[in-house]
Structure 1
Protein backbone atom coordinates (compact mmCIF):
# COMPACT_ATOMS: atom_id res chain seq x y z
CA UNK A 1 0.00 0.00 0.00
CA UNK A 2 2.82 2.44 0.90
CA UNK A 3 4.50 1.70 -2.43
CA UNK A 4 1.30 2.54 -4.30
CA UNK A 5 0.87 5.71 -2.25
CA UNK A 6 4.42 6.75 -3.08
CA UNK A 7 3.92 6.11 -6.80
CA UNK A 8 0.73 8.18 -6.70
CA UNK A 9 2.40 11.09 -4.86
CA UNK A 10 5.50 10.95 -7.05
CA UNK A 11 3.28 10.97 -10.15
CA UNK A 12 1.45 14.08 -8.93
CA UNK A 13 4.75 15.81 -8.21
CA UNK A 14 6.03 15.07 -11.71
CA UNK A 15 2.84 16.38 -13.28
CA UNK A 16 2.89 19.54 -11.15
CA UNK A 17 6.59 19.90 -11.94
CA UNK A 18 5.74 20.52 -15.59
CA UNK A 19 3.87 23.72 -14.75
CA UNK A 20 5.24 27.21 -15.25
CA UNK A 21 5.72 29.37 -12.16
CA UNK A 22 2.72 31.53 -13.16
CA UNK A 23 0.47 28.48 -13.61
CA UNK A 24 1.63 26.91 -10.34
CA UNK A 25 0.95 30.13 -8.45
CA UNK A 26 -2.50 30.54 -10.04
CA UNK A 27 -3.47 27.00 -8.99
CA UNK A 28 -1.93 27.56 -5.57
CA UNK A 29 -3.91 30.76 -5.13
CA UNK A 30 -7.10 28.85 -5.96
CA UNK A 31 -6.24 26.19 -3.35
CA UNK A 32 -5.54 28.88 -0.76
CA UNK A 33 -8.84 30.61 -1.45
CA UNK A 34 -10.57 27.26 -1.16
CA UNK A 35 -9.02 26.70 2.28
CA UNK A 36 -10.29 30.15 3.21
CA UNK A 37 -13.82 29.77 1.81
CA UNK A 38 -14.43 26.25 3.18
CA UNK A 39 -13.53 27.31 6.73
CA UNK A 40 -11.04 24.44 7.02
CA UNK A 41 -8.95 23.77 10.13
CA UNK A 42 -6.01 25.53 8.48
CA UNK A 43 -7.97 28.78 8.47
CA UNK A 44 -8.95 28.35 12.12
CA UNK A 45 -5.34 27.76 13.21
CA UNK A 46 -4.13 30.68 11.08
CA UNK A 47 -6.65 33.03 12.68
CA UNK A 48 -5.77 31.84 16.20
CA UNK A 49 -2.06 32.36 15.57
CA UNK A 50 -2.59 35.84 14.16
CA UNK A 51 -4.79 36.87 17.09
CA UNK A 52 -2.00 35.77 19.47
CA UNK A 53 0.99 37.08 17.54
CA UNK A 54 -0.33 40.29 16.00
CA UNK A 55 -2.98 41.57 18.44
CA UNK A 56 -2.30 45.15 17.33
CA UNK A 57 -4.10 44.46 14.03
CA UNK A 58 -7.81 45.18 13.70
CA UNK A 59 -10.16 42.22 13.07
CA UNK A 60 -10.42 43.27 9.41
CA UNK A 61 -6.64 43.49 9.05
CA UNK A 62 -6.18 40.08 10.63
CA UNK A 63 -8.82 38.54 8.37
CA UNK A 64 -7.11 40.02 5.31
CA UNK A 65 -3.72 38.76 6.48
CA UNK A 66 -5.11 35.27 7.18
CA UNK A 67 -6.51 35.11 3.67
CA UNK A 68 -3.21 36.32 2.20
CA UNK A 69 -1.29 33.73 4.22
CA UNK A 70 -3.48 30.84 3.07
CA UNK A 71 -3.07 31.96 -0.54
CA UNK A 72 0.69 32.06 0.01
CA UNK A 73 0.62 28.57 1.52
CA UNK A 74 -1.33 27.30 -1.47
CA UNK A 75 1.29 28.80 -3.77
CA UNK A 76 4.09 27.22 -1.75
CA UNK A 77 2.43 23.82 -2.10
CA UNK A 78 2.49 24.15 -5.90
CA UNK A 79 5.96 25.71 -6.04
CA UNK A 80 7.65 22.83 -4.21
CA UNK A 81 7.20 20.40 -7.15
CA UNK A 82 8.89 22.99 -9.38
CA UNK A 83 11.86 23.19 -7.03
CA UNK A 84 12.08 19.39 -6.97
CA UNK A 85 11.37 18.57 -10.61
CA UNK A 86 12.73 21.50 -12.62
CA UNK A 87 16.40 21.52 -13.70
CA UNK A 88 18.47 23.28 -11.06
CA UNK A 89 19.50 26.09 -13.43
CA UNK A 90 15.85 26.87 -14.16
CA UNK A 91 15.10 27.06 -10.43
CA UNK A 92 18.05 29.36 -9.78
CA UNK A 93 16.91 31.65 -12.59
CA UNK A 94 13.88 32.44 -10.41
CA UNK A 95 16.16 34.42 -8.07
CA UNK A 96 15.75 37.97 -9.42
CA UNK A 97 17.09 39.97 -6.50
CA UNK A 98 19.38 39.42 -3.52
CA UNK A 99 20.01 41.33 -0.32
CA UNK A 100 22.67 40.77 2.32
CA UNK A 101 24.81 38.11 0.63
CA UNK A 102 27.90 40.02 1.73
CA UNK A 103 27.05 39.06 5.32
CA UNK A 104 27.80 35.43 4.46
CA UNK A 105 31.22 36.26 3.01
CA UNK A 106 32.02 38.33 6.09
CA UNK A 107 30.92 35.57 8.47
CA UNK A 108 32.97 32.88 6.72
CA UNK A 109 36.06 34.99 5.93
CA UNK A 110 38.03 33.50 8.84
CA UNK A 111 37.13 29.89 7.96
CA UNK A 112 34.26 29.62 10.43
CA UNK A 113 31.28 27.44 9.70
CA UNK A 114 27.92 29.11 9.25
CA UNK A 115 24.43 28.17 10.43
CA UNK A 116 21.77 29.52 8.08
CA UNK A 117 18.36 29.72 9.70
CA UNK A 118 15.50 29.46 7.20
CA UNK A 119 12.02 29.90 8.73
CA UNK A 120 8.88 28.69 6.95
CA UNK A 121 8.69 32.01 5.13
CA UNK A 122 8.40 32.42 1.38
CA UNK A 123 10.09 29.61 -0.59
CA UNK A 124 12.47 27.83 1.79
CA UNK A 125 13.04 25.10 -0.82
CA UNK A 126 14.43 27.66 -3.29
CA UNK A 127 16.57 29.20 -0.56
CA UNK A 128 18.09 25.78 0.11
CA UNK A 129 18.87 25.25 -3.57
CA UNK A 130 20.34 28.73 -3.93
CA UNK A 131 22.80 28.37 -1.07
CA UNK A 132 23.76 24.79 -1.88
CA UNK A 133 24.76 26.07 -5.33
CA UNK A 134 27.33 28.33 -3.66
CA UNK A 135 28.60 26.55 -0.54
CA UNK A 136 29.40 23.14 0.88
CA UNK A 137 26.11 22.72 2.65
CA UNK A 138 24.19 20.30 4.84
CA UNK A 139 20.53 20.57 5.75
CA UNK A 140 18.80 19.07 8.76
CA UNK A 141 15.59 17.16 8.03
CA UNK A 142 13.05 14.85 9.64
CA UNK A 143 12.30 11.65 7.68
CA UNK A 144 8.83 11.62 6.09
CA UNK A 145 6.12 9.23 7.24
CA UNK A 146 6.37 7.46 3.87
CA UNK A 147 9.78 5.66 3.84
CA UNK A 148 9.79 5.31 0.05
CA UNK A 149 9.53 9.08 -0.25
CA UNK A 150 12.72 9.71 1.74
CA UNK A 151 15.07 8.55 -1.04
CA UNK A 152 13.28 10.79 -3.54
CA UNK A 153 13.46 13.78 -1.20
CA UNK A 154 17.18 13.26 -0.55
CA UNK A 155 17.88 12.94 -4.27
CA UNK A 156 16.05 16.10 -5.37
CA UNK A 157 17.26 18.25 -2.49
CA UNK A 158 20.83 17.03 -2.92
CA UNK A 159 21.17 17.69 -6.66
CA UNK A 160 23.90 20.26 -6.09
CA UNK A 161 25.78 18.21 -3.56
CA UNK A 162 23.92 19.40 -0.49
CA UNK A 163 24.02 16.74 2.21
CA UNK A 164 20.76 15.93 3.97
CA UNK A 165 21.30 15.05 7.61
CA UNK A 166 18.71 13.32 9.76
CA UNK A 167 17.79 15.03 12.99
CA UNK A 168 19.06 12.14 15.16
CA UNK A 169 22.23 11.80 17.24
CA UNK A 170 24.37 10.54 14.37
CA UNK A 171 23.06 13.28 12.10
CA UNK A 172 23.81 16.01 14.63
CA UNK A 173 27.38 14.73 15.01
CA UNK A 174 27.76 14.94 11.23
CA UNK A 175 26.33 18.47 11.25
CA UNK A 176 28.91 19.50 13.84
CA UNK A 177 31.73 18.04 11.72
CA UNK A 178 30.60 19.99 8.65
CA UNK A 179 30.51 23.23 10.63
CA UNK A 180 34.00 22.64 12.06
CA UNK A 181 35.24 22.14 8.50
CA UNK A 182 33.92 25.59 7.55
CA UNK A 183 30.74 24.42 5.85
CA UNK A 184 27.19 25.72 5.99
CA UNK A 185 24.30 24.09 7.87
CA UNK A 186 20.69 24.91 7.04
CA UNK A 187 18.15 24.65 9.87
CA UNK A 188 14.42 25.39 10.02
CA UNK A 189 14.25 27.21 13.38
CA UNK A 190 10.48 27.64 13.86
CA UNK A 191 9.35 24.07 14.50
CA UNK A 192 8.36 22.62 17.86
CA UNK A 193 11.38 20.46 18.77
CA UNK A 194 11.14 16.87 19.87
CA UNK A 195 13.16 15.32 22.67
CA UNK A 196 15.04 17.18 25.37
CA UNK A 197 16.81 19.82 23.29
CA UNK A 198 14.42 22.67 24.01
CA UNK A 199 13.52 25.52 26.30
CA UNK A 200 10.43 27.69 26.70
CA UNK A 201 10.93 31.15 25.23
CA UNK A 202 8.61 33.93 24.01
CA UNK A 203 7.52 33.86 20.38
CA UNK A 204 5.46 36.98 19.63
CA UNK A 205 4.94 37.25 23.38
CA UNK A 206 3.79 33.69 24.10
CA UNK A 207 6.07 31.16 25.80
CA UNK A 208 6.52 28.18 23.47
CA UNK A 209 8.88 25.24 23.21
CA UNK A 210 11.92 26.31 21.17
CA UNK A 211 14.97 24.38 19.96
CA UNK A 212 18.30 24.81 21.76
CA UNK A 213 20.16 23.06 18.90
CA UNK A 214 21.38 26.28 17.29
CA UNK A 215 23.02 27.66 20.41
CA UNK A 216 24.61 24.29 21.23
CA UNK A 217 26.06 23.96 17.73
CA UNK A 218 27.48 27.49 17.97
CA UNK A 219 29.10 26.70 21.31
CA UNK A 220 30.54 23.36 20.18
CA UNK A 221 31.81 24.39 16.75
CA UNK A 222 32.43 28.14 16.88
CA UNK A 223 30.04 28.55 13.94
CA UNK A 224 28.38 31.87 13.24
CA UNK A 225 24.72 32.31 12.40
CA UNK A 226 22.58 34.29 9.95
CA UNK A 227 18.93 34.09 8.94
CA UNK A 228 17.52 33.96 5.42
CA UNK A 229 14.34 33.68 3.36
CA UNK A 230 13.24 33.74 -0.28
CA UNK A 231 10.52 36.37 -0.71
CA UNK A 232 7.95 35.76 -3.44
CA UNK A 233 7.73 38.69 -5.86
CA UNK A 234 4.44 39.81 -7.37
CA UNK A 235 3.00 38.61 -10.67
CA UNK A 236 5.15 35.46 -10.87
CA UNK A 237 8.29 37.56 -11.35
CA UNK A 238 10.36 35.21 -9.21
CA UNK A 239 11.94 35.58 -5.76
CA UNK A 240 14.26 37.76 -3.74
CA UNK A 241 16.85 36.09 -1.48
CA UNK A 242 17.30 38.01 1.78
CA UNK A 243 20.05 37.39 4.36
CA UNK A 244 19.97 39.16 7.73
CA UNK A 245 21.88 39.25 10.98
CA UNK A 246 20.31 37.52 13.96
CA UNK A 247 19.61 39.05 17.35
CA UNK A 248 22.57 39.04 19.77
CA UNK A 249 22.74 36.32 22.41
CA UNK A 250 21.93 33.32 20.25
CA UNK A 251 25.12 31.58 21.43
CA UNK A 252 24.37 32.18 25.10
CA UNK A 253 24.86 29.28 27.50
CA UNK A 254 21.61 30.37 29.15
CA UNK A 255 19.11 28.31 27.16
CA UNK A 256 16.24 30.76 27.71
CA UNK A 257 18.34 33.74 26.59
CA UNK A 258 19.55 31.83 23.51
CA UNK A 259 16.10 30.62 22.45
CA UNK A 260 14.62 34.07 23.08
CA UNK A 261 17.19 35.53 20.67
CA UNK A 262 16.36 32.79 18.17
CA UNK A 263 12.63 33.52 18.27
CA UNK A 264 13.22 37.27 18.05
CA UNK A 265 15.34 36.74 14.93
CA UNK A 266 12.55 34.74 13.31
CA UNK A 267 9.96 37.35 14.35
CA UNK A 268 11.87 40.17 12.67
CA UNK A 269 11.85 38.34 9.34
CA UNK A 270 8.16 37.42 9.63
CA UNK A 271 7.23 41.05 10.29
CA UNK A 272 8.89 41.97 6.98
CA UNK A 273 6.50 39.80 4.93
CA UNK A 274 3.86 38.40 7.33
CA UNK A 275 1.58 37.33 4.49
CA UNK A 276 4.16 34.78 3.32
CA UNK A 277 4.59 33.03 6.67
CA UNK A 278 3.14 29.57 7.30
CA UNK A 279 0.71 30.69 9.99
CA UNK A 280 -1.31 27.46 9.87
CA UNK A 281 1.41 25.58 11.78
CA UNK A 282 0.47 24.92 15.42
CA UNK A 283 3.58 26.52 16.86
CA UNK A 284 1.84 27.40 20.15
CA UNK A 285 0.69 23.89 21.02
CA UNK A 286 3.68 23.15 23.29
CA UNK A 287 3.59 25.62 26.16
CA UNK A 288 4.81 25.44 29.78
CA UNK A 289 2.97 22.84 31.91
CA UNK A 290 -0.40 24.07 33.12
CA UNK A 291 -0.88 26.62 30.35
CA UNK A 292 -3.92 26.40 28.08
CA UNK A 293 -3.53 24.96 24.60
CA UNK A 294 -4.81 27.83 22.38
CA UNK A 295 -6.00 25.40 19.68
CA UNK A 296 -8.00 23.40 22.22
CA UNK A 297 -8.95 25.65 25.17
CA UNK A 298 -10.40 22.68 27.09
CA UNK A 299 -6.91 21.17 27.43
CA UNK A 300 -3.84 22.29 29.34
CA UNK A 301 -0.28 21.53 28.36
Structure 2
Protein backbone atom coordinates (compact mmCIF):
# COMPACT_ATOMS: atom_id res chain seq x y z
CA UNK A 1 0.00 0.00 0.00
CA UNK A 2 1.00 3.62 -0.51
CA UNK A 3 2.01 5.61 2.56
CA UNK A 4 -0.85 7.45 4.32
CA UNK A 5 -1.39 10.72 2.51
CA UNK A 6 -3.02 13.83 3.94
CA UNK A 7 -5.78 15.30 1.77
CA UNK A 8 -7.59 18.62 2.02
CA UNK A 9 -10.90 16.71 2.18
CA UNK A 10 -9.92 15.51 5.67
CA UNK A 11 -10.43 19.08 6.91
CA UNK A 12 -14.13 19.08 6.02
CA UNK A 13 -16.29 20.26 8.98
CA UNK A 14 -17.88 16.81 9.33
CA UNK A 15 -14.48 15.56 10.53
CA UNK A 16 -13.73 18.34 13.03
CA UNK A 17 -15.05 16.31 15.95
CA UNK A 18 -12.77 13.42 14.97
CA UNK A 19 -9.77 15.76 14.90
CA UNK A 20 -10.72 17.12 18.35
CA UNK A 21 -10.98 13.59 19.72
CA UNK A 22 -7.52 12.78 18.37
CA UNK A 23 -6.12 15.96 19.94
CA UNK A 24 -7.62 14.91 23.29
CA UNK A 25 -6.27 11.38 22.83
CA UNK A 26 -2.80 12.78 22.15
CA UNK A 27 -2.91 14.85 25.34
CA UNK A 28 -4.03 11.86 27.42
CA UNK A 29 -1.09 9.86 26.05
CA UNK A 30 1.32 12.41 27.55
CA UNK A 31 0.14 11.74 31.11
CA UNK A 32 2.23 9.65 33.53
CA UNK A 33 1.90 5.94 32.82
CA UNK A 34 0.07 4.96 36.00
CA UNK A 35 -2.38 7.83 35.57
CA UNK A 36 -3.21 6.46 32.14
CA UNK A 37 -3.86 3.01 33.60
CA UNK A 38 -6.19 4.50 36.19
CA UNK A 39 -8.07 6.53 33.59
CA UNK A 40 -8.30 3.46 31.39
CA UNK A 41 -9.91 1.44 34.15
CA UNK A 42 -12.37 4.28 34.65
CA UNK A 43 -13.21 4.32 30.92
CA UNK A 44 -13.70 0.57 31.08
CA UNK A 45 -16.13 0.76 34.00
CA UNK A 46 -18.05 3.46 32.11
CA UNK A 47 -18.15 1.24 29.01
CA UNK A 48 -19.48 -1.63 31.12
CA UNK A 49 -22.46 0.55 32.08
CA UNK A 50 -23.10 2.24 28.73
CA UNK A 51 -21.99 -0.18 25.97
CA UNK A 52 -24.86 -2.59 26.53
CA UNK A 53 -24.50 -4.51 23.25
CA UNK A 54 -20.78 -5.07 23.75
CA UNK A 55 -21.39 -6.07 27.36
CA UNK A 56 -23.96 -8.64 26.28
CA UNK A 57 -21.62 -10.04 23.61
CA UNK A 58 -18.84 -10.40 26.19
CA UNK A 59 -21.24 -12.03 28.67
CA UNK A 60 -22.36 -14.57 26.06
CA UNK A 61 -18.76 -15.31 25.04
CA UNK A 62 -17.70 -15.88 28.64
CA UNK A 63 -20.71 -18.12 29.25
CA UNK A 64 -19.74 -20.22 26.22
CA UNK A 65 -16.04 -20.43 27.10
CA UNK A 66 -16.13 -20.64 30.90
CA UNK A 67 -19.30 -22.57 31.79
CA UNK A 68 -17.50 -23.92 34.88
CA UNK A 69 -17.39 -20.45 36.46
CA UNK A 70 -20.16 -19.36 38.79
CA UNK A 71 -22.28 -16.29 38.11
CA UNK A 72 -20.30 -14.06 40.48
CA UNK A 73 -16.92 -15.20 39.11
CA UNK A 74 -18.01 -14.52 35.52
CA UNK A 75 -19.32 -11.10 36.55
CA UNK A 76 -15.95 -10.32 38.14
CA UNK A 77 -14.12 -11.51 35.01
CA UNK A 78 -16.42 -9.35 32.86
CA UNK A 79 -15.67 -6.28 34.99
CA UNK A 80 -11.91 -6.86 34.80
CA UNK A 81 -12.17 -7.44 31.06
CA UNK A 82 -13.92 -4.11 30.50
CA UNK A 83 -11.30 -2.38 32.62
CA UNK A 84 -8.70 -4.02 30.37
CA UNK A 85 -10.54 -2.73 27.29
CA UNK A 86 -10.53 0.76 28.77
CA UNK A 87 -6.79 0.54 29.38
CA UNK A 88 -6.39 -0.58 25.76
CA UNK A 89 -7.74 2.82 24.64
CA UNK A 90 -4.93 4.49 26.56
CA UNK A 91 -2.39 1.97 25.26
CA UNK A 92 -3.40 2.71 21.69
CA UNK A 93 -2.59 6.36 22.37
CA UNK A 94 0.76 5.28 23.83
CA UNK A 95 1.51 3.24 20.71
CA UNK A 96 0.57 6.01 18.29
CA UNK A 97 1.84 9.09 20.10
CA UNK A 98 4.69 8.20 22.49
CA UNK A 99 8.34 7.77 21.56
CA UNK A 100 10.06 4.44 21.05
CA UNK A 101 12.32 5.20 24.01
CA UNK A 102 9.34 5.82 26.31
CA UNK A 103 7.72 2.56 25.24
CA UNK A 104 10.88 0.46 25.50
CA UNK A 105 11.25 1.37 29.18
CA UNK A 106 8.05 -0.49 29.96
CA UNK A 107 8.80 -3.75 28.15
CA UNK A 108 10.65 -6.94 28.89
CA UNK A 109 11.37 -9.31 26.00
CA UNK A 110 11.54 -13.05 25.64
CA UNK A 111 12.36 -15.02 22.49
CA UNK A 112 13.02 -12.16 20.06
CA UNK A 113 16.43 -13.59 19.16
CA UNK A 114 14.80 -16.61 17.54
CA UNK A 115 12.82 -14.42 15.12
CA UNK A 116 15.88 -12.38 14.26
CA UNK A 117 17.82 -15.58 13.58
CA UNK A 118 15.10 -16.85 11.21
CA UNK A 119 15.12 -13.52 9.36
CA UNK A 120 18.91 -13.60 9.10
CA UNK A 121 18.57 -17.00 7.38
CA UNK A 122 16.09 -15.54 4.88
CA UNK A 123 13.24 -17.56 6.37
CA UNK A 124 9.74 -16.11 6.04
CA UNK A 125 7.93 -15.72 9.36
CA UNK A 126 4.16 -15.60 9.83
CA UNK A 127 4.08 -13.73 13.13
CA UNK A 128 0.87 -14.96 14.71
CA UNK A 129 -0.75 -12.37 16.97
CA UNK A 130 -3.88 -12.79 19.08
CA UNK A 131 -6.69 -10.34 19.81
CA UNK A 132 -5.74 -9.44 23.34
CA UNK A 133 -6.46 -5.92 24.53
CA UNK A 134 -2.71 -5.19 24.27
CA UNK A 135 -2.83 -5.88 20.52
CA UNK A 136 -2.10 -2.34 19.30
CA UNK A 137 0.71 -1.73 21.75
CA UNK A 138 2.17 -5.18 21.07
CA UNK A 139 2.22 -4.65 17.31
CA UNK A 140 3.97 -1.30 17.77
CA UNK A 141 6.64 -2.79 20.01
CA UNK A 142 7.20 -5.75 17.71
CA UNK A 143 7.55 -3.37 14.77
CA UNK A 144 10.24 -1.48 16.69
CA UNK A 145 12.09 -4.71 17.51
CA UNK A 146 12.29 -6.47 14.14
CA UNK A 147 11.75 -5.72 10.46
CA UNK A 148 8.02 -6.27 10.13
CA UNK A 149 5.28 -6.12 7.50
CA UNK A 150 1.65 -5.85 8.54
CA UNK A 151 -1.90 -6.59 7.47
CA UNK A 152 -4.51 -3.85 7.58
CA UNK A 153 -8.24 -3.24 7.27
CA UNK A 154 -9.19 0.37 6.37
CA UNK A 155 -11.39 2.31 8.79
CA UNK A 156 -14.63 3.79 7.50
CA UNK A 157 -13.86 7.24 8.89
CA UNK A 158 -11.12 8.63 6.59
CA UNK A 159 -9.59 10.84 9.33
CA UNK A 160 -9.44 7.92 11.74
CA UNK A 161 -8.02 5.77 8.95
CA UNK A 162 -5.31 8.35 8.22
CA UNK A 163 -4.31 8.75 11.86
CA UNK A 164 -4.46 5.02 12.50
CA UNK A 165 -2.11 4.29 9.61
CA UNK A 166 0.23 7.10 10.62
CA UNK A 167 0.30 5.79 14.17
CA UNK A 168 0.92 2.21 13.15
CA UNK A 169 3.40 2.74 10.35
CA UNK A 170 5.72 4.91 12.44
CA UNK A 171 6.72 1.66 14.17
CA UNK A 172 7.09 -0.71 11.21
CA UNK A 173 10.73 0.17 10.59
CA UNK A 174 10.13 0.74 6.89
CA UNK A 175 8.02 -2.39 6.52
CA UNK A 176 5.12 -2.72 4.10
CA UNK A 177 1.47 -2.68 5.19
CA UNK A 178 -0.85 -4.89 3.11
CA UNK A 179 -4.62 -4.68 2.91
CA UNK A 180 -6.20 -7.78 4.40
CA UNK A 181 -7.42 -8.92 0.97
CA UNK A 182 -3.96 -8.67 -0.62
CA UNK A 183 -3.13 -12.35 -0.18
CA UNK A 184 -0.69 -12.40 -3.08
CA UNK A 185 1.30 -9.51 -1.66
CA UNK A 186 1.60 -11.25 1.71
CA UNK A 187 2.64 -14.53 0.10
CA UNK A 188 5.34 -12.79 -1.94
CA UNK A 189 6.62 -11.07 1.20
CA UNK A 190 6.86 -14.38 3.05
CA UNK A 191 8.61 -16.03 0.11
CA UNK A 192 11.17 -13.20 0.20
CA UNK A 193 11.94 -13.98 3.83
CA UNK A 194 9.90 -11.20 5.43
CA UNK A 195 8.10 -11.35 8.79
CA UNK A 196 4.39 -10.59 8.42
CA UNK A 197 2.01 -9.76 11.29
CA UNK A 198 -1.16 -11.88 11.19
CA UNK A 199 -4.04 -12.52 13.63
CA UNK A 200 -6.29 -15.53 12.85
CA UNK A 201 -8.64 -15.48 15.87
CA UNK A 202 -11.72 -13.63 14.64
CA UNK A 203 -14.83 -14.88 12.87
CA UNK A 204 -14.51 -14.00 9.16
CA UNK A 205 -17.21 -16.47 8.07
CA UNK A 206 -17.01 -20.04 6.87
CA UNK A 207 -16.23 -19.28 3.20
CA UNK A 208 -12.57 -18.80 4.09
CA UNK A 209 -12.47 -21.10 7.08
CA UNK A 210 -13.57 -24.26 8.85
CA UNK A 211 -15.38 -24.99 12.09
CA UNK A 212 -12.78 -25.81 14.71
CA UNK A 213 -13.33 -26.08 18.48
CA UNK A 214 -12.51 -23.00 20.53
CA UNK A 215 -13.07 -23.63 24.24
CA UNK A 216 -15.05 -26.66 23.09
CA UNK A 217 -17.42 -24.55 20.93
CA UNK A 218 -17.39 -24.88 17.11
CA UNK A 219 -15.95 -21.57 15.84
CA UNK A 220 -15.43 -20.39 12.26
CA UNK A 221 -11.62 -20.33 12.02
CA UNK A 222 -9.71 -18.97 9.03
CA UNK A 223 -7.50 -21.42 7.14
CA UNK A 224 -5.15 -18.64 6.06
CA UNK A 225 -2.57 -19.77 8.61
CA UNK A 226 -2.13 -23.06 6.73
CA UNK A 227 -2.13 -21.39 3.33
CA UNK A 228 0.39 -18.69 4.21
CA UNK A 229 2.70 -21.22 5.84
CA UNK A 230 2.49 -23.65 2.93
CA UNK A 231 2.56 -21.36 -0.11
CA UNK A 232 4.72 -18.70 1.56
CA UNK A 233 7.13 -21.37 2.88
CA UNK A 234 6.93 -19.62 6.24
CA UNK A 235 7.34 -20.58 9.88
CA UNK A 236 4.30 -19.91 12.06
CA UNK A 237 5.69 -18.06 15.10
CA UNK A 238 3.19 -16.93 17.76
CA UNK A 239 3.84 -13.96 20.00
CA UNK A 240 1.91 -12.20 22.73
CA UNK A 241 2.12 -9.06 24.82
CA UNK A 242 0.60 -9.25 28.30
CA UNK A 243 0.12 -6.52 30.87
CA UNK A 244 1.99 -7.23 34.11
CA UNK A 245 -0.07 -7.64 37.28
CA UNK A 246 1.98 -5.06 39.22
CA UNK A 247 1.23 -2.36 36.60
CA UNK A 248 4.96 -1.89 35.93
CA UNK A 249 4.69 -2.56 32.19
CA UNK A 250 4.49 -5.45 29.75
CA UNK A 251 6.06 -8.72 28.72
CA UNK A 252 6.51 -9.44 25.01
CA UNK A 253 7.01 -13.17 24.53
CA UNK A 254 7.81 -14.90 21.23
CA UNK A 255 6.97 -18.61 21.34
CA UNK A 256 8.54 -21.53 19.54
CA UNK A 257 7.34 -22.01 15.93
CA UNK A 258 4.32 -24.29 15.53
CA UNK A 259 6.22 -26.83 13.44
CA UNK A 260 3.15 -28.99 12.76
CA UNK A 261 1.71 -26.26 10.52
CA UNK A 262 1.23 -26.79 7.63
CA UNK A 263 0.23 -30.43 8.11
CA UNK A 264 -1.67 -30.79 4.83
CA UNK A 265 -4.95 -30.86 6.78
CA UNK A 266 -6.46 -27.37 7.17
CA UNK A 267 -8.91 -28.49 9.86
CA UNK A 268 -6.13 -29.99 11.96
CA UNK A 269 -4.07 -26.83 11.53
CA UNK A 270 -7.05 -24.68 12.61
CA UNK A 271 -7.48 -26.88 15.68
CA UNK A 272 -3.81 -26.40 16.59
CA UNK A 273 -4.12 -22.62 16.21
CA UNK A 274 -7.23 -22.48 18.40
CA UNK A 275 -5.68 -24.75 21.02
CA UNK A 276 -2.63 -22.50 21.25
CA UNK A 277 -4.71 -19.33 21.52
CA UNK A 278 -7.03 -20.90 24.10
CA UNK A 279 -4.04 -21.85 26.27
CA UNK A 280 -2.76 -18.27 26.20
CA UNK A 281 -6.21 -16.87 27.04
CA UNK A 282 -6.50 -19.13 30.08
CA UNK A 283 -3.30 -17.54 31.40
CA UNK A 284 -4.83 -14.03 31.36
CA UNK A 285 -8.54 -14.28 30.42
CA UNK A 286 -9.32 -10.70 31.45
CA UNK A 287 -6.95 -9.38 28.76
CA UNK A 288 -8.67 -11.03 25.78
CA UNK A 289 -11.09 -9.11 23.52
CA UNK A 290 -14.32 -10.82 24.53
CA UNK A 291 -16.37 -7.96 23.06
CA UNK A 292 -15.99 -9.41 19.54
CA UNK A 293 -18.56 -11.83 18.11
CA UNK A 294 -16.24 -14.84 18.06
CA UNK A 295 -19.15 -17.25 17.51
CA UNK A 296 -21.06 -15.17 14.96
CA UNK A 297 -21.01 -17.92 12.29
CA UNK A 298 -22.72 -21.08 13.50
CA UNK A 299 -22.97 -24.65 12.21
CA UNK A 300 -26.29 -25.53 10.61
CA UNK A 301 -28.96 -25.96 13.26
CA UNK A 302 -26.92 -24.42 16.08
CA UNK A 303 -28.41 -21.64 18.18
CA UNK A 304 -27.47 -18.01 17.62
CA UNK A 305 -25.16 -17.14 20.52
CA UNK A 306 -25.95 -13.43 20.12
CA UNK A 307 -29.72 -13.67 19.72
CA UNK A 308 -31.32 -10.32 20.49
CA UNK A 309 -28.07 -8.34 20.43
CA UNK A 310 -28.44 -5.26 18.26
CA UNK A 311 -26.20 -5.26 15.19
CA UNK A 312 -24.38 -2.16 13.98
CA UNK A 313 -25.91 -0.65 10.88
CA UNK A 314 -23.65 -0.59 7.86
CA UNK A 315 -22.89 2.94 6.70
CA UNK A 316 -22.52 3.90 3.10
CA UNK A 317 -18.99 4.70 2.09
CA UNK A 318 -18.28 8.35 1.29
CA UNK A 319 -16.24 8.99 -1.81
CA UNK A 320 -13.55 11.57 -1.02
CA UNK A 321 -12.18 13.71 -3.81
Same-fold call, TM cutoff 0.5: yes
Indicate the residue corresponding to 2:216 in structure 1: 205
Task: Flag structure 1 segments of 5+ consecutive residues without an equivalent.
Answer: none
Partner of 1:19: 31
C-alpha contact 1:2 1:146 (8 A) present in aligned 2: no
Which of 282, 289, 313 does residue 271 from structure 1 map onto? 282
The Cα shift of 1:35 comes to: 3.0
Question: Deviation per CA, 1:228-269, whole angstroms, max 9, x where unpaired?
Answer: 111112343111111223656431332211211111121111
- Pair 1:57-2:74 in alignment: no
Q: Give the root-mean-square deviation of aligned CA atoms.
A: 2.2
Say yes or no: does 1:237 pair with 2:253. Answer: no
User: Within 5 Å, which residues of 2 pair with 1:171-186?
Assistant: 171-186=182-197
Task: Report the equivalent of 2:55.
Answer: 43
Q: Say whether residues 1:86 and 2:98 are aligned partners.
A: yes
Query: Counterparts in 2 of 1:102-121, with a 5 A limit?
Result: 102-105=113-116, 107-108=118-119, 110-121=121-132
Could you give the per-residue CA deviations for residues 191-211 of structure 1, whole angstroms, max 9, x where no partner exists?
Answer: 122583222211111111111
Distance apart, 1:106 and its partner CA? 5.4
Q: Is the 8 A contact 2:236 2:258 kept in 1?
A: no
Compute the displacement of 1:141 (Å).
Answer: 1.4
**Distance across 2 between alignment mates of 1:109 and 1:89:** 25
* Range 40-49 or range 212-221, more displaced: 40-49
Regions of 4+ moved over 6 Å: none
The offset of 1:69, in angstroms, is: 0.9
The correspondence for 1:136, drawn from 147, 154, 157, is 147
SS in 1 for 2:190: helix
Structure-1 residue corresponding to 2:178:
165
Per-residue deviation at 1:59? 2.4
Q: Deviations over 1:4-54 (max 9, x none)?
A: 343233223222222222111111101222233558232222221111112
1:140 is displaced (CA, Å) by 0.7
Higher strand proportion: 1
Contact 1:101 1:242 in 2 (8 A): yes
- Give the paired residue count: 295
What displacement does 1:220 show? 0.5
Q: 1:30/1:221 Cα in 2 relative to 1: closer, same or farther (>3 Å)?
A: same
> Cα distance 1:5–1:136, how it changes in 2: closer, same or farther (>3 A)?
same
Cα gap change, 1:130 to 1:20, in 2 (>3 Å): same
Structure 1 residues 246 and 209, CA gap change in structure 2 (3 angstroms):
farther
TM-score, normalization: structure 2?
0.84
Structure-2 change in CA distance of 1:54 and 1:103 (3 Å): farther
Tell me the TM-score normalised to structure 1 length.
0.89
Structure 2 partner of 1:69: 81
Instruction: State the distance in 2 between where 1:142 and 1:5 align.
Output: 22
Unmatched tracts of structure 2, length 5 or more: 1-12, 310-321
